[in-house]
Amino acid sequence: MTHRGSVVATALLVLAALAGCSAPAAQTKESGKGGPVLLASRPQIGGTPARLDSTLGQALPLAEYQLRPEARLAVSKAERMLTAKCMARYGFSDPNAWLPEPQPDRDPLERRYGLADATMAEQWGYHVPPGWKGQVDDLTRQNRPVLSQSELLVLSGRGPQAGPTSSGGLSYQGTPVPEGGCQGEAKRRISPDGDFDDPELVRRIDGSPQSDSDPVVLQVFADWSACMKGKGFDRTKPVKDPKAPKLAPEPNRAEIEQATADVACKRQTNLVGVWFAAESAYQDAMIQQNITALAEIRQQNDRTVKAATEIVATG
């Protein structure tokens, strides 16, 4: 599973908005090109898992090697500031001024194990409320400016207005444009490779499906399914269930009733606590197998956060 992008990066928001797209509504498993990391044997899973009604305040072991919400917030703010300053050098206004200020995600693991928030279930069913996990709502999106071809060139380093410089790069009105435009320049100021996404190895661990089929997890799935059946709902598993209801454009009573039953059954069976404990055990073992490479990744993350924090502090 993955929770990358809890705070949506400026560049991604701009490009997605220009394309008329929105951020994904829930977490999905992404294991990377190399495929998920898999263990040769089942790890030791501790005794009775702690009871968890939600993942709020929790963190999986792999979080030590990922940019946490507060770090992503600093990175997003720094990228936005640097992009605006770069655009100003070419006489353009801030292309991100229409966007709301970046906010940290209150729970990076939200919906990793399916819907677990009783209040959200009662209000929205399985739908997500406007602005959930940094999504840009329709009203805000209506206020986005239409960028000119020249602005797009300077922002992204691409476009029909591009002209070559003597060194072979691009220029705008005789002034060289950084590789990747102002977005590329901003990213490289924060991190040398300009990439804030989880590295391949982290994605391969984060996307590993192995804990999903662990016996204790399968048993809690079965317990949850039985609980749902007792409430009148035929469900097999809490996520990626072919029997899950198809959502109407807006939440309706039937959806809300099933969503609230879902959350109640998760609490009755401690599904979140069991699954979280199992996945933690698997991640711990995978981390130990890759500890040297992951230590280097953590050091790079520390450098990225330090650079971003200094940029934000100095303005």
Q: Which ranges of the chain would DSSP assign to H, the alpha helix?
A: 10-18, 69-89, 118-124, 138-141, 149-156, 181-190, 200-206, 215-230, 253-269, 271-289, 291-314
Strand partners for 177: 170
Residues 18, 175: Cα–Cα separation, whole Å: 25
* 298 or 129: which leads in pLDDT: 298
Q: Is 114 part of any domain? A: no
Task: Using the 3D structure, point to which of 197, 218, 241 is the last residue of a domain.
Answer: 197
* 257 vs 192, residue with greater confidence: 257
Distances (CA, A) of 197 to 64, 125, 287: 14, 31, 18
Based on the domain organization, do 18 and 140 belong to the same domain? yes
The CA-atom distances, in angstroms, between 212 and each of 60, 241, 282 are 15, 13, 10
**108/39 Cα distance (integer angstroms):** 25
**Do 202 and 263 fall into the same domain?**
yes
Per-residue pLDDT tens over the stretch 73-130? 999 999 999 999 999 999 999 999 888 787 777 788 999 999 999 999 999 999 988 7
Alpha carbon distance 225, 86 (integer Å): 54
For the chain, what is the domain count?
A: 2
SS3 category, 179: coil
Exposure string of 269-291, with b = 16+ CB inside 10 Å and e = fewer, is bbbbbbbbbbbbbbbebbbeebe
Please tell me whether residues 136 and 5 are part of one structural domain: yes
Average pLDDT, the chain: 86
Residue 170: predicted pLDDT = 86
223-226's contacts with Cβ under 8 Å and 24+ in sequence apart are 223/269, 223/271, 224/265, 224/266, 224/269, 224/271
Pairwise CA distance, residues 305 & 74, whole Å: 7
Residue where one domain finishes, among candidates 197, 219, 242: 197
Encoding tokens for residue 205? Answer: 């661990």
- Give the pLDDT score at 239: 95
Give residue 2's domain range.
1-22+68-108+130-197
Report the range of poorest mean pLDDT among 31-40, 163-172, 201-210, 230-239: 163-172
Q: Are residues 205 and 296 in the same domain?
A: yes
- For residue 249, the SS3 value is coil
Q: Quickly tell me which residue has 């879902």 as its tokens.
A: 262
Per-residue pLDDT at 293: 97
Does the residue 29 lie in any domain? no
Tokens 């400016």 belong to 145
